[in-house]
């Protein structure tokens, strides 16, 4: 009986390891994460847990004992099933708590949860390869457009204005945003504008309309030029 149990346990662990290796590139929430999991989604999970004060270590993309303990503490706090697994229930609760951690009182614009999600998607899809200042600058351009009479006066209107943003046009907009982008969006909403008031930005290597070169350049951050 003991031998049979040992064999079954080994088989279960082997299956878990196999599932872990198969899903390494998955977006956060598309698979259950557990001890031994590796991948970008594990790193995102660690970032969200860290932002909420449950994970006090560097994000590694490896689901080890520190991550497991952080998940268990979160599950205890919110009366979830305490198993150390980051399944749909735990991840969805984490995402809701993360997104609700927004305070409009000191923002340049009042934003709803839907609008915040749109901002996060836009900044991530347009500037995920840029440094923090570059991401804040892109978020600032979105805000500057809302406040500029030449553009739609809502975040949704600005983002979905035809041909305004490449990522919306080519579908990258629907990628799952990295939770780290929230800090860049919040910094822009609170008034930091590295773009210096720009309402346009572009990467010269990806320009499809030479009209953009007629706009006066204000500054450059990373691969993007910011213009008025």
Report the CATH number that the domain containing residue 123 is assigned in CATH: 1.10.10.2520
Please tell me what DSSP assigns to residue 100: T
User: Given 68, 99, 130, which residue is the final one in a domain?
Assistant: 99
Q: Using CA atoms, how far apart are residues 23 and 51, in angstroms rounded to an integer?
A: 24
A 10 A CB-CB count for 168 gives 20
Sorted by sequence, the CB contacts under 8 Å of residue 126 that are 6+ apart come out as: 138, 165, 166, 167
Mean pLDDT of 9-13: 50
Q: Which residues are 120's β-sheet partners?
A: none
Q: What angle do CA 29, 78, 112 make, to 5 degrees?
A: 65
Reading the block at residue 224, the tokens are 């993007």
Q: Using CA atoms, how far apart are residues 72 and 70, in angstroms rounded to an integer?
A: 5
Give the predicted TM-score (pTM) of the model: 0.57
User: Given 40, 70, 99, which residue is the final one in a domain?
Assistant: 99
Please tell me what DSSP assigns to residue 216: P
95 with 109, same domain: the answer is no
What's residue 136's pLDDT? Answer: 93
Mean pLDDT of 8-12: 51
Q: Which domain covers residue 62, as residue numbers?
A: 2-99
Q: Which residue has the tokens 């800090």?
A: 183
* CATH number of the structural domain spanning residue 63: 1.10.101.10
pLDDT in tens, 137-180: 999 999 999 998 899 989 999 999 888 888 888 888 888 888 88
217 with 112, same domain: the answer is yes
């Amino acid at each position: 009986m003991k031998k049979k149990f040992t064999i079954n346990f080994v088989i279960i662990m082997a299956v878990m390891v196999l599932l872990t290796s198969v899903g390494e590139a998955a977006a956060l929430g598309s698979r259950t994460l557990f001890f031994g999991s590796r991948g970008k989604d594990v790193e995102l999970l660690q970032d969200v847990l860290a932002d909420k004060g449950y994970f006090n270590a560097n994000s590694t993309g490896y689901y080890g004992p520190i991550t497991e303990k952080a998940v268990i503490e979160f599950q205890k706090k919110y009366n979830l099933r305490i198993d150390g697994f980051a399944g749909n229930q735990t991840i969805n609760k984490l995402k809701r708590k993360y997104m609700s951690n927004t305070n409009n009182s000191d923002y340049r614009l009042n934003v709803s949860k839907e609008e915040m999600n749109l901002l996060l998607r836009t900044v991530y899809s347009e500037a995920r390869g840029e440094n923090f200042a570059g991401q804040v600058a892109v978020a600032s351009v979105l805000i500057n457009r809302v406040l500029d009479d030449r553009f739609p006066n809502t975040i949704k209107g600005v983002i979905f204005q035809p041909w305004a943003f490449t990522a919306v046009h080519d579908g990258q907009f629907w990628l799952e945003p990295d939770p780290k982008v929230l800090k860049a969006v919040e910094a822009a909403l609170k008034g930091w504008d590295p773009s210096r008031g720009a309402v346009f930005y572009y990467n010269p290597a990806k320009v499809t309309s030479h009209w953009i070169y007629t706009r006066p350049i204000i500054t450059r951050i990373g691969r993007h030029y910011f213009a008025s």
